Amino acid sequence: MNRNTMMEKVSAEMPAKRWTHTLGVMETAVILARRFGADPDKADQAAILHDVAKYWPTSKMETIIREQGMPEELLYYDKELWHAPVGAFVAERDYGIADIEVLDAIRFHTSGRERMTLMDKIVCLADYMEPGRDFPGVHKIRELAEHSVEQALIAGFDSTISYLLAQGKRIFPLTVAARNDLILQLR
Ligand code: DGI
Ligand code: FE
Ligand code: FE
Ligand code: FE
């Protein structure tokens, strides 16, 4: 599928404000890919599709998680996590994406994982720091991202984990594993 067709199809899946966010993630992911030596075209593709399933009904996401044999553990954590693995599935099935780097960057853009690839890190970080994001700590994340994708992403996960703690919510173990692993990578 060519890029314009893909963009039109994805934008039809979401309200205008989410599409604006997606455009911000695309722009930021490409900048980060150039800065840190990843493939800008793959970063662009993953960014276009990363939130493709964000507005799917939870029942539809749950069906795909079960039918596709995704970790059922997901179902016991915040539903906000579900659109990432479901999005990777949709990218492959409905958009013909076959590149595992792109699919994994979509799959893990919310939770993170241990041993994140550079592409995983870039898409996840771009999602945190795109120009439309405004949350306490986002300026610090953008500053850290000038030099270190890992340090910036750790700060991103820290803010998510703090938020989940403050809300009394459960924390998906992959997020904790991702953060711990990134800290280890810095040593
Ligand atoms: O889809 P976006 O809003 O652009 O961003 P995202 O895919 O990073 O989703 C983030 C949301 O997921 C955020 O509101 C926090 C929520 N969430 C719930 N439980 C967890 C979690 N995020 C992570 N990383 N880990 C969790 O355990
Ligand atoms: Fe998302
Ligand atoms: Fe994210
Ligand atoms: Fe997003």
User: In the predicted model, what is the mean pLDDT of residues 123-152?
Assistant: 97
pLDDT for res 71: 96
Residues in contact with ligand 1 by the CB-under-6-Å rule are: 51, 54, 77-78, 80-81, 84, 109-111, 127, 160, 164, 171-172, 175
Cβ-contact 149, 36 below 8 angstroms: yes
pLDDT in tens, 52-80: 999 999 999 999 999 999 999 999 999 99
Cβ-contact 106, 46 below 8 angstroms: yes
Cβ-contact 64, 70 below 8 angstroms: yes
Task: Give how far Cα 159 sits from Cα of 69, 131, 165, 179, Å.
Answer: 30, 17, 10, 11
d(CA 150, CA 178): 10
User: In the predicted model, what is the mean pLDDT of residues 25-47?
Assistant: 98
Q: Which of 10, 81, 182 has most ligand 1 atoms within 8 Å of its beta carbon, as the pocket-test mutant?
A: 81
Q: Does position 162 have pLDDT exceeding 90, yes or no?
A: yes
User: In the predicted model, what is the mean pLDDT of residues 97-125?
Assistant: 98
ipTM of the prediction: 0.96
pLDDT for res 187: 85
What lies within 8 Å, CB to CB, of 17 at 6+ separation is: none
pLDDT in tens, 165-175: 999 999 999 99
pLDDT > 90 fraction of the chain, expressed in percent and rounded = 99
Nearest-CA residue for atom 8 of ligand 1:
110
What fold characterizes domain 3-186? Hypothetical protein af1432 (1.10.3210)
